[in-house]
Amino acid sequence: METAVGTAPTVLVVEDEPGIADILRITLSYNGFTVHCAATRREALAAVRQHRPDLVLLDVMLPDGNGWEVCRALRAEHAAEPGTDDLAIIFVTARDAPRDVVAGLALGGDDYITKPFGVDEVVARVHAVLRRTRRDTGVADRVLRHGDLEMDEATYSVRRAGQPVELTPTEYNLLRHLLRHAGRIISKEQLLQHVWQYETVVPSTVVETYISYLRRKLDRFGPPLIETRRGVGYGLRAVEQA
Ligand code: CA
């Protein structure tokens, strides 16, 4: 019997926490991906050789090592094997620190997801990265702009008035949401839903806290950028016409 062979991308989930691995496996399978799982660094390397996935969701803290080592090993392996360098790697990290993210991306990661994450976010990131790695080349990098603020989504870099602004992943995601909806006021509930994804019980003050972090970092380089509409939400101030 002839079976239609689909082109469903194969994803390898590397995650040692069984609950999280299950959520990822179920969600990605439901969304049409072929999913394999590995729980350790060693299993991950073996599974990549065995299953040749299109993408690896790579937990950073593993029982026998870390995701950075896995990434480095995979990139070295693929560099030695022409034509296989399109393996996409997304780090899944609980470490909300810019240094880690930069380190991971410098090692050859294509994107990162911060725990706790929402499953919709994971699926969206996987699709986005696969779009880039499977048939990209020549696609313009996406840069979001608002006045003197610039966010380059390909390099995760943010600049204001030409000055680099270093953000944690959560700050970055929050600013990206505001930038994508520039000119609108976004309610606290919407931000909790889209940036924090309701994945854990976060204190209701978390939005205010991160808005204040962002202000501290962004307003060093120019006039206040983020507007508070009391009782309504937050947004980026209208840009003055030069
Ligand atoms: Ca882990």
Within the chain, how many helices (H) and strands (E) appear? 8, 14
Does the structure show a pLDDT above 60 at 139?
no
State the helix-helix crossing angle for 206-218 and 169-180, rounded to 10 degrees: 90
Distance from the CA of 51 to the center of ligand 1, in angstroms?
A: 22
Distance from the CA of 202 to the center of ligand 1, in angstroms?
A: 21
What local confidence, expressed as pLDDT, does residue 39 receive?
Answer: 97
CATH number attached to the domain at 143-241: 1.10.10.10
Distance from the CA of 132 to the center of ligand 1, in angstroms?
A: 26
Distance from the CA of 196 to the center of ligand 1, in angstroms?
A: 20
Pairing mode of beta strands 149-152, 163-165:
unpaired
User: What's the mean pLDDT in 80-97?
Assistant: 71
Output DSSP code: residue 116. S
Q: What is the pTM of this model?
A: 0.54
Q: Say how far apart CA 93 and CA 216 lie, in whole Å.
A: 25
- How is residue 204 written in tokens? 């209701």
Distance from the CA of 66 to the center of ligand 1, in angstroms?
A: 8
Distance from the CA of 62 to the center of ligand 1, in angstroms?
A: 5
Distance from the CA of 42 to the center of ligand 1, in angstroms?
A: 14
- CA nearest to 48, candidates 7, 105, 87: 87
Percent of the chain residues topping a pLDDT of 90? 38
Distance from the CA of 44 to the center of ligand 1, in angstroms?
A: 13
Residues 5-37 have pLDDT tens digits of: 345 789 999 999 999 999 999 999 888 888 999
Angle value at C-alpha 63, between 60 and 69, nearest 5 degrees: 45
What local confidence, expressed as pLDDT, does residue 200 receive?
Answer: 58
Q: Enumerate the domain spans of the chain.
A: 10-133, 143-241
Query: Binning pLDDT at 50, 70 and 90, where does residue 157 land?
Result: confident
Output DSSP code: residue 221. G
Length of the chain (residues): 242
Distance from the CA of 21 to the center of ligand 1, in angstroms?
A: 10
Distance from the CA of 210 to the center of ligand 1, in angstroms?
A: 25
Asked if 185 and 235 count as a contact pair (C-beta separation under 8 A), the reply is: yes
CATH for 10-133 (3.40.50.2300, 3.40.630.40, 3.30.565.10, 3.40.50.11540): 3.40.50.2300
Q: Say how far apart CA 126 and CA 113 lie, in whole Å.
A: 10
- Chain mean pLDDT for the chain: 83
Q: Say how far apart CA 169 and CA 175 lie, in whole Å.
A: 10
What local confidence, expressed as pLDDT, does residue 209 receive?
Answer: 92
Asked if 55 and 130 count as a contact pair (C-beta separation under 8 A), the reply is: yes
Distance from the CA of 217 to the center of ligand 1, in angstroms?
A: 30
Does the structure show a pLDDT above 50 at 1?
no
Query: Binning pLDDT at 50, 70 and 90, where does residue 41 land?
Result: very high
